[in-house]
Amino acid sequence: MILRPRVASKELLLLRSLNARARLIEKEKQQYYNLEKGYEGEVQFDRYMQQNLLQDRYIVNDLLLEKNNKKFQLDSVHIAQSTAYHFEIKNYEGDYYIESDRFFTFSGKEILNPFHQVKRSESLLRQLMNSLGFPLSLESYLIFVNPEFYLFNAPKDPSIIFPNQLNRFMRKLNMKSSVLNPKHLKLAEQLVSLNLVDDPYKRIAPYQYEQLQKGILCAQCYSVDVIVKNTKVNCDHCGCSEDLDSAVVRSVEELRLLFPEVRITTSMIYDWCRVIESHKTVRRILNQNLTKYGSNKWIYYE
């Protein structure tokens, strides 16, 4: 049972929007691609688990926790009867190697060693669970989900799961039975309640409304090349089609994410979406999908 579903992080949503509407600096562009790729891998892992896991578990995704003044991020935690499982998921693609306990891309660029990251998170999560008074054993796994990934000099470590080991790993997990009780639920709920709110705005270079390209982003490929035809928004880039109402509501959410202080009005959204012919259509969509405040020309929506 999933207690905390996975959603795209605020940072990913912000960078996705800014990447489509502005020119990101190189560092942010790289960060955006890493986040998009990482999220894709996590979603793929969730889907795999959903299709193959037979055991009863409480599943808590994407946590940012703190113990002893140290913050740590967990991709997925599963609470089963006698064991808590922690999964760190990596969607690395291509060749990598390990040398003297350091992790490199094939071209020789050093990146943060994910084994160290997992060990650190595991230790902090164990301490946190002990302090919550829950005597479950903890197993941490580093899961590489991308079949195009290869690691030279890989350590002989059973907590590392490569793509071609995943099915066997799954069969092993499914051999254990798991009966959950309210104590397990309480632990899972405590973990959810301890999740810290991340503030990605301070990590992103400042941007202004005037500098951003206006228009509706395609829901699938995030291109601004969309056109409105009757009640549909069609993407010139990938060919997908979406209801106009849902595209406008999505665009309102995006605007509010970029500018949390902004007051949503008909003319604001008309300008932001750019491709809708009349104010009247925008007003109708806002009236039907958001709560209206104020009157006459002071109307705004939330």
Q: Footprint of Zn ion on this chain (CB under 5 A)? A: 218, 220-221, 223, 235, 237-238
Q: Are residues 136 and 79 in contact, defined by beta-carbon separation less than 8 angstroms?
A: yes
Q: What is the DSSP letter of 102?
A: E
Report the nearest approach of Zn ion to the CB of residue 234 (Å). Answer: 9
Q: For residues 7 and 227, which CB has a smaller minimum distance to Zn ion in the complex?
A: 227
Distance, CA of 221 to CA of 235 (rounded, Å): 9
Q: For residues 73 and 223, which CB has a smaller minimum distance to Zn ion in the complex?
A: 223
Q: For residues 238 and 249, which CB has a smaller minimum distance to Zn ion in the complex?
A: 238
DSSP alpha helices (H): ranges in the chain? 10-21, 26-52, 114-131, 166-175, 182-193, 244-258, 266-273, 279-289
Q: For residues 53 and 221, which CB has a smaller minimum distance to Zn ion in the complex?
A: 221
Q: What is the DSSP letter of 196?
A: P
Task: Please report, as a single letter, which amino acid is at residue 82.
Answer: S
Q: For residues 52 and 223, which CB has a smaller minimum distance to Zn ion in the complex?
A: 223
Non-local (6+) Cβ contacts of 241 within 8 A are 232, 233, 234, 235
Report the nearest approach of Zn ion to the CB of residue 215 (Å). Answer: 12
Report the nearest approach of Zn ion to the CB of residue 297 (Å). Answer: 36
Q: For residues 53 and 224, which CB has a smaller minimum distance to Zn ion in the complex?
A: 224
Q: For residues 12 and 216, which CB has a smaller minimum distance to Zn ion in the complex?
A: 216
Distance, CA of 16 to CA of 32 (rounded, Å): 7
Report the nearest approach of Zn ion to the CB of residue 247 (Å). Answer: 11
Q: For residues 216 and 218, which CB has a smaller minimum distance to Zn ion in the complex?
A: 218
* Closest listed residue to residue 187, CA positions, set 260, 280, 86, 285: 86
Distance, CA of 60 to CA of 167 (rounded, Å): 22
Distance, CA of 236 to CA of 22 (rounded, Å): 19
Strand order across the 241-243 sheet: 226-229, 232-235, 241-243
Q: What are residue 59's phi and psi, to 5 degrees?
A: -115, 125
Distance, CA of 63 to CA of 194 (rounded, Å): 9
Report the nearest approach of Zn ion to the CB of residue 148 (Å). Answer: 24
Report the nearest approach of Zn ion to the CB of residue 157 (Å). Answer: 41
Q: Are residues 57 and 112 in contact, defined by beta-carbon separation less than 8 angstroms?
A: no
Report the nearest approach of Zn ion to the CB of residue 24 (Å). Answer: 19
Report the nearest approach of Zn ion to the CB of residue 240 (Å). Answer: 5
Give the gyration radius of the chain's Cα atoms.
Answer: 23
